[in-house]
């Protein structure tokens, strides 16, 4: 997980703490949408990935966003809202996705990453 945090931090120009939280939000979303299969395999192979997702979920649940947070709290829009709250712009969010999925290709293989992307509408734009 440290390697992924370093990659993301360098790519989007944020400190390691913000990078870890951002990664956690993306991983938590993927875990919620696809708890089995390639996502579970990624979590099993990357030490600290599950913990980062759990921490991001707990932080998001604790930082109630009111009605707007509830309305935008699901799907890719919900992830984007959480990432915006960290101070990331759309360009950084796209780079974040590229780094996470590029890393995932090395861990679980390109076909499984494509399987994840094809299972979640709109996710392929971040590959």
Question: pLDDT tens digits, residue range 38-86?
Answer: 999 999 999 999 999 999 888 766 554 444 444 445 688 889 999 999 9
Provide the whole-model pTM: 0.88
Structural domains in the chain plus CATH codes: 2-126 (1.10.490)
Q: 29-60 b/e with 16+ CB inside 10 Å = b?
A: bbbebbeeebbeebbeebebbbebbebbbeeb
CA–CA separation, 119 and 34 (whole Å)? 8
């Amino acid at each position: 997980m440290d390697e992924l945090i370093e990659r993301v931090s360098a790519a989007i120009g944020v400190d390691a703490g913000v990078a870890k939280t951002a990664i956690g939000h993306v991983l938590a979303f993927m875990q919620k949408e696809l708890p089995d299969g390639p996502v579970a395999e990624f979590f099993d192979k990357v030490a600290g990935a599950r913990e980062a997702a759990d921490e991001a979920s707990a932080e998001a649940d604790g930082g109630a966003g009111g009605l707007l947070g509830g309305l935008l709290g699901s799907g890719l829009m919900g992830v984007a809202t959480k990432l915006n709250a960290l101070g990331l712009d759309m360009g950084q969010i796209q780079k974040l996705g590229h780094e996470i999925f590029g890393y995932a290709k090395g861990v679980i293989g390109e076909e499984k990453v494509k399987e994840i992307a094809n299972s979640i509408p709109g996710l392929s734009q971040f590959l």
